A and B are shown apart, each in its own frame.
Chain A
Amino acid sequence: MIAQIGLTVLLLWVIAYAWAEYRRAPLIGTVAVLVAAAGLYFVWLPAHASWLAAFVGIGRGVDLILYVWLVISLTMFLDLHLKLRSQTEVITALAREIAIANSLSERSPGVE
């Protein structure tokens, strides 16, 4: 029961995070919400996880939950990568404005 509650808190946090990220990266947000919701379902109904795991040839239900967690982690990594890209775009725009402004001021020495 303690593990179930702990995992539930973590997965609810993932869902909240994914929901917040949806506007910036809709595909990532959707995947994370769906996978985390599936994880919640299996945490509270492990028998269903065992049945599905046997059905798709994974073995044990707990392995399936681990795989779900792995997918969530990779999705988060991808999301972090996209956030870094967004930051890079902002930095690029700033560097561009500085470069152009410097170029123009060098051409117009009388203009501050």
Chain B
Amino acid sequence: MLAPMRGEREASIWVVVPAYNEASVIAPVITQLIKLNYAVIIVDDGSTDRTGQVAALAGARVVTHPFNLGQGAALQTGIKLALQQGADYIITFDGDGQHQAADIARLVEALPLHDADFALGSRFLGASVGIPSSRRMLLKAAVWFTRMTTGLKVTDTHNGLRAMTRRGAGQIALRQNRMAHASEILEQIGRCGLRYVEVPVTVEYSAYSMAKGQRLADSLLILFDLSAQRLHR
């Protein structure tokens, strides 16, 4: 939490974690967030395992999609609920254990410091532990594409760790249900003229997160989704 000034109330920070079949890894993720006094929303995206029950037992607030919609849809659900609960700052955080809860404080502190609406985690300014070279190349290509299409000078585009102010969260509306939401957020930041800052973070790759991560075919699907969205209102 941000330390309040005299006479100020403590800022309310909500961490939104989309989760689909993460029962085996979600509990330690929630535990480390709760230890740091963050309010945690787990969006159970129609899991077929016990993700929701495990998350509730670990102390998170759980909101459950009636069926699987995709990570982008889960994030938008969590953001909407956090806004309804009066969140001052909203964090998006992956449920597969690749992010560090300790990075959240730096992201949140960067928002008022830079008068920004979004603080975007960058593994390429920070550290990416155990990242395979093929994944690094794929992410670099995504960075190049995003720079070309949005004009934003970002160094990392598909990092699920980001912080936003209440104002920033209210300005974006994710329509991309699947993985293209990461590019969509940046596109909306650029289109709405929202201020952003990049903050170094650490991403730790494990065999589990690699197995759930994106592949080249997913990247092509993202490109198709982004192109198709531009063709209709």
Interface string of A93-112 (1 = CB under 8 A from B): 00110111011000100000
Which residues of chain B are within 8 angstroms of A1 by Cβ–Cβ distance? none
Per the bound structure, the CA–CA distance linking A91 and B76 in Å amounts to 14
Within 8 A of A (CB), among B57-109: 61-67, 69, 73, 76-77, 80-81, 84
- Asked if residues A82 and B228 are in contact (CB atoms below 8 Å), the reply is yes
Which residues of chain A are within 8 angstroms of B43 by Cβ–Cβ distance? 99
- Asked if residues A92 and B231 are in contact (CB atoms below 8 Å), the reply is no
- Asked if residues A88 and B232 are in contact (CB atoms below 8 Å), the reply is no
Using CB atoms, name the residue of chain B closest to A88.
B177
- Asked if residues A99 and B63 are in contact (CB atoms below 8 Å), the reply is yes
- Asked if residues A99 and B233 are in contact (CB atoms below 8 Å), the reply is no
Per the bound structure, the CA–CA distance linking A88 and B77 in Å amounts to 15
Task: Choose among B67, B77, B84 the residue with the greatest number of A CB atoms under 10 Å from its CB.
Answer: B77
With both chains docked as a complex, state the minimum distance between the C-beta of A77 and any C-beta of chain B, in angstroms.
Answer: 12
Residue from the list A82, A88, A95, A102 in contact with B231, Cβ < 8 A: A82
Which residues of chain A are within 8 angstroms of B66 by Cβ–Cβ distance? 95, 98-99
Which residues of chain B are within 8 angstroms of A27 by Cβ–Cβ distance? 231
Residue from the list B62, B65, B228 in contact with A85, Cβ < 8 A: B228
Q: Is B195 an interface residue (CB 8 A)?
A: no
Which residues of chain A are within 8 angstroms of B62 by Cβ–Cβ distance? 103
Within 8 A of A (CB), among B34-51: 43
Which residues of chain A are within 8 angstroms of B212 by Cβ–Cβ distance? none
Interface string of A56-94 (1 = CB under 8 A from B): 000000000000000000000010011001101100100
Using CB atoms, name the residue of chain B closest to A31.
B231
Within 8 A of A (CB), among B218-232: 228-229, 231-232
Interface residues of B, dominant DSSP: mixed
Q: Is A48 an interface residue (CB 8 A)?
A: no
Per the bound structure, the CA–CA distance linking A88 and B228 in Å amounts to 13
With both chains docked as a complex, state the minimum distance between the C-beta of B174 and any C-beta of chain A, in angstroms.
Answer: 10
Q: Do A92 and B228 form a contact, CB below 8 Å, given A103-B62, A103-B81?
A: no
- Asked if residues B231 and A99 are in contact (CB atoms below 8 Å), the reply is no
With both chains docked as a complex, state the minimum distance between the C-beta of B177 and any C-beta of chain A, in angstroms.
Answer: 6
Per the bound structure, the CA–CA distance linking A88 and B67 in Å amounts to 12
With both chains docked as a complex, state the minimum distance between the C-beta of B75 and any C-beta of chain A, in angstroms.
Answer: 11
With both chains docked as a complex, state the minimum distance between the C-beta of A37 and any C-beta of chain B, in angstroms.
Answer: 20
Per the bound structure, the CA–CA distance linking A76 and B103 in Å amounts to 48
Q: Is B175 an interface residue (CB 8 A)?
A: yes
Residue from the list A23, A92, A99, A102 in contact with B177, Cβ < 8 A: A92
Q: Do A25 and B231 form a contact, CB below 8 Å, given A95-B67, A103-B63?
A: yes
Q: Is A28 an interface residue (CB 8 A)?
A: yes
Which residues of chain A are within 8 angstroms of B61 by Cβ–Cβ distance? 103, 107
- Asked if residues A99 and B84 are in contact (CB atoms below 8 Å), the reply is no
Task: Identify 13 residue pairs between A and B in the complex whose beta-carbon atoms are under 8 Å apart, listed by A's number.
Answer: A24-B232, A25-B233, A82-B232, A89-B175, A96-B76, A96-B77, A99-B63, A99-B64, A100-B81, A100-B84, A102-B63, A103-B62, A107-B61
Task: Given A95-B67, A96-B76, output 9 extra A-B contacts at Cβ < 8 Å.
Answer: A24-B233, A82-B228, A88-B177, A92-B69, A92-B177, A96-B77, A99-B43, A100-B77, A103-B81
Listed in ascending order, the chain A residues whose CB lies under 8 Å from chain B are: 23-28, 78, 81-82, 85-86, 88-89, 92, 95-96, 98-100, 102-103, 107
